[in-house]
Amino acid sequence: MEVRRITLRLLIALTPVLIGCGTSPSTPATGERIQQHQGTGPIRVVCTTNILKDLVRQIGGERVQVTAIMDGPGIDPHTYTPSPKDTNALTAADLVVYSGLHLEGQFDEALESLKFRGIPVICVTEKLTQETPSRLIQTEEGAADPHVWFSPDLWSTCGECLAEGLSAYDSENSEQYSAAATAFSEQLAQAKHNGIMLLARIPDDRRVLVTAHDAFEYFALAFDFRVQAVQGISTDSEPGLRRINQLTDLLVERRISAVFTEQSVSDKNITALVANCASKGHTLKIGARLFSDTAGAEGTPEETLCGALLHNITQIAIALSESPGDIIMNDTEAKTQVAP
């Protein structure tokens, strides 16, 4: 623990610069000239999650060499604690990219320190926080829901924000970043269209998505679902027996056939729901393991956000549809249509 405190103090002593979205290379929000990328080699980008790694690759193309600290489908960014190795990776980067909205809760101290001296930092949700009216979902506690990648429209804005930040840092290639952001926006629009078609097979009374934690509110708005979750937006809390009983009553009353586990969250609460429903004579199955806070493993179709999103949509459609065999587009076909 003492080593970690020392590492974070060292971060504060560094000299980073925040690259604000929407600012030009010569007129950043801080009033000082933004550091420019030196040399012709790729920009060494370190980001927090593998969903962001995909976004950086989509927008940066061959201009970036990107690594993610939380790089794997089983890693929970809400509870992940950075190690000295992680902070060293941040300080060795040319550029740091993070999601924001307190998704990377344990990284807040390190990321905030990087904003004010030395290493350029991009928060991809910055444009969303500046919108009026806001498209961000607010929790009962008044915090913004950070799971914006499940809205193709909002994630497209995050791509624009990243393109502007990369253009500020590497102005000679700004046209390339802008064009990539446009192409990525079109790819997301196609994924949304495919998803709507797949999910149209689910009747209205079955369009209730029950998951381990509350990561799918933006998904619900984009694809016309109602969402219920055992845990809240952060997984850093345990649900009470009352919440389990409430969901059990809902599942039995609506005769919902399936609930879903998540790649980065424990199955124990979903398993408790299945057992509770069985005790009341209702058969509930676990539909599939969905991607929520992370994308898939490197080298799989789900390593991209579009691939992970279409995987989720297909599995939800199969589990909740009255006639799963009628689903025309299978998982592979859907992802092929949105491949970059």
Rounded to an integer, what distance in angstroms lies between the CA atom of residue 311 and that of residue 332?
A: 9
Segment 200-212 shows an average pLDDT of 87
Range of the domain at 21: 2-187
224 with 290, same domain?
yes
128 with 176, same domain?
yes
Give per-residue pLDDT as tens, 12-71: 333 345 576 754 333 333 334 457 777 778 999 999 999 999 999 999 999 999 999 999
pLDDT at residue 324, rounded to an integer? 59
- Return the residue matching tokens 């497209």: 156
Of 187, 207, 235, the one marking the end of a domain is 187
Lowest mean pLDDT among 70-74, 151-155, 214-218: 70-74
131 with 112, same domain?
yes
Q: pLDDT band at residue 234, thresholds of 50, 70 and 90? A: low
pLDDT at residue 239, rounded to an integer? 57
pLDDT at residue 4, rounded to an integer? 39
166 with 276, same domain?
no
18 with 108, same domain?
yes
Cα R_g (the chain), whole angstroms: 21
Q: What is the dihedral sign for C-alpha 9, 10, 13, 15?
A: negative
Residue 285: in which H helix or E strand, if any?
strand 285-290
Q: Count other C-beta atoms under 10 Å from residue 242's C-beta.
A: 8
Instruction: Say how many domains are in the chain.
Output: 2
Give per-residue pLDDT as tens, 261-315: 887 677 888 888 888 888 988 888 888 889 988 899 899 999 999 999 999 999 9
Under 8 Å CB-to-CB from 143, ≥6 apart: which residues? Answer: 101, 102, 233
Rounded to an integer, what distance in angstroms lies between the CA atom of residue 292 and that of residue 38?
A: 36
Of 144, 163, 187, the one marking the end of a domain is 187
Of 131, 155, 187, the one marking the end of a domain is 187
Rounded to an integer, what distance in angstroms lies between the CA atom of residue 93 and that of residue 256?
A: 48
232 with 275, same domain?
yes
C-alpha distances (whole Å) from 243 to each of 132, 138, 232, 240, 281 are 34, 20, 11, 5, 19
112 with 228, same domain?
no
273 with 245, same domain?
yes
Segment 178-189 shows an average pLDDT of 98
136 with 258, same domain?
no
37 with 6, same domain?
yes
170 with 257, same domain?
no
Q: Tell me the pLDDT of the chain averaged across its residues.
A: 82
pTM for the model: 0.83
Q: pLDDT band at residue 247, thresholds of 50, 70 and 90? A: confident
Highest-pLDDT range among 45-59, 69-83, 238-252: 45-59
Domain harbouring 319, CATH code? 3.40.50.1980
Rounded to an integer, what distance in angstroms lies between the CA atom of residue 122 and that of residue 112?
A: 11
87 with 231, same domain?
no
pLDDT at residue 276, rounded to an integer? 86
pLDDT at residue 195, rounded to an integer? 94
